[in-house]
């Protein structure tokens, strides 16, 4: 994580930028770049701010807008893009903001060139596979919807890599892949209600989320490794979640 301070004499603003640069990737003439971070206007998150990722060229290639988004409610953003060019790309991160310092009204633009020292390998396929059994007490948890997801910067944009249902024995097997510059962050996800050994599929009650160890990930579209959860007992997990909720409710009283 690198901090890029803003020259206040130039920008006349109080905007903190925290960027994680994933690098510029060159594979033949296919080149890629990704960046994420958080914008602050003074002590408050800068939400709804337009941010863009551009490739600005001084040579024969034309400038290209690689990605464009707005920061979320926490001021966070994630941009990535790819382009084919004859020359090396010159990626630029741009911010279009209204962080008012009382001096210059109206929207202003700030831009940062992404350092060439972040050149790395290209987007690569990464894969993950999981298996296991789900029980509710001493009974197999049949027909539970299970998903293999990849975490994004904002949970709303988490991507489903694979999904399905447990069989009559509570068994499941999921696998998937994704092309990313950085290492993917997959997790196993299920909604359920399991209380006193009785199971009900539900989206209103328990939510199981378990991160997949990074050392079990593979390269390519099919993982040579399969992470085995063993047996997950929802009754035990649900009871623990219930105790946590009751404890939180007592604190609120």
pLDDT in tens, 16-72: 555 555 555 444 456 777 888 889 988 888 889 999 988 876 655 567 788 899 999
Tokens linked to 12: 């006349």
**Domain total in the chain:** 2
Q: How far apart are the first and last CA of the chain?
A: 40
Four-point Cα dihedral 142, 145, 146, 149, nearest 10: 180
The helix (H) or strand (E) run that includes residue 240 is: helix 234-252
How many CB atoms are located within 10 Å of the residue 2 CB? 11
Q: Are residues 216 and 192 in the same domain?
A: yes
Domain boundary among 57, 86, 120: 120
Which domain-ending residue is among 91, 120, 149? 120
> Taking a C-beta distance cutoff of 8 angstroms, is the pair 99, 15 a contact?
yes
What pTM does this model have?
0.52
CATH number of the domain where residue 69 is located: 2.60.40
- Domain CATH code at residue 247: 2.60.40.3330
Look up the domain containing 129 and give its range.
124-252
pLDDT tens digits along 157-179 = 788 999 999 999 999 999 999 88
Helix (H) or strand (E) holding 9: helix 8-11
| Same domain, residue pair 161 and 199 | yes
Closest CA to 17 of 112, 155, 152, 153: 112
Torsion from C-alpha of 195, 200, 202, 208, nearest 10 degrees: 50
204 plus 190 within the same structural domain: yes
Residue reference for tokens 């940062």: 112
**Given 105, 120, 135, which residue is the final one in a domain?**
120
Residue that the structure tokens 């988004």 belong to: 69
Nearest to 91 by CA among 20, 11, 23: 23
Same domain? For 131 and 100 the reply is: no
């Amino acid at each position: 994580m690198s901090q890029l301070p803003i020259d206040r004499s130039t920008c006349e603003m109080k905007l903190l930028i925290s960027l994680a640069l994933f690098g510029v990737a060159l594979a033949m003439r296919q080149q890629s770049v990704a960046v994420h971070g958080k914008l602050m206007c003074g002590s408050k998150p800068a939400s709804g701010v337009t941010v863009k990722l551009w490739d600005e060229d001084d040579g024969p290639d034309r400038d290209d807008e690689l990605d464009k988004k707005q920061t979320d409610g926490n001021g966070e953003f994630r941009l990535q893009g790819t382009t084919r060019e004859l020359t090396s790309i010159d990626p630029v991160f741009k911010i279009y903001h209204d962080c008012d310092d009382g001096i210059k009204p109206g929207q202003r633009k700030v831009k940062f060139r992404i350092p060439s020292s972040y050149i790395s390998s290209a987007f690569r396929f990464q894969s993950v596979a999981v298996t296991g059994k789900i029980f509710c007490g001493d009974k197999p948890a049949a027909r539970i919807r299970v998903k293999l997801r990849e975490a994004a910067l904002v949970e709303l944009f988490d991507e489903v890599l694979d999904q399905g249902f447990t069989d009559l024995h509570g068994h499941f097997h999921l696998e998937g892949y994704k092309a990313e510059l950085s290492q993917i962050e997959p997790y196993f996800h299920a909604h359920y209600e399991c209380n006193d050994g009785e199971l009900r599929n539900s989206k209103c009650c328990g939510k199981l989320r378990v991160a997949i160890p990074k050392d079990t990930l593979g390269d390519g579209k099919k993982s040579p490794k399969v992470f085995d959860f063993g047996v997950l007992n929802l009754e035990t997990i649900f009871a623990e979640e219930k105790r946590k909720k009751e404890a939180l409710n007592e604190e609120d009283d």
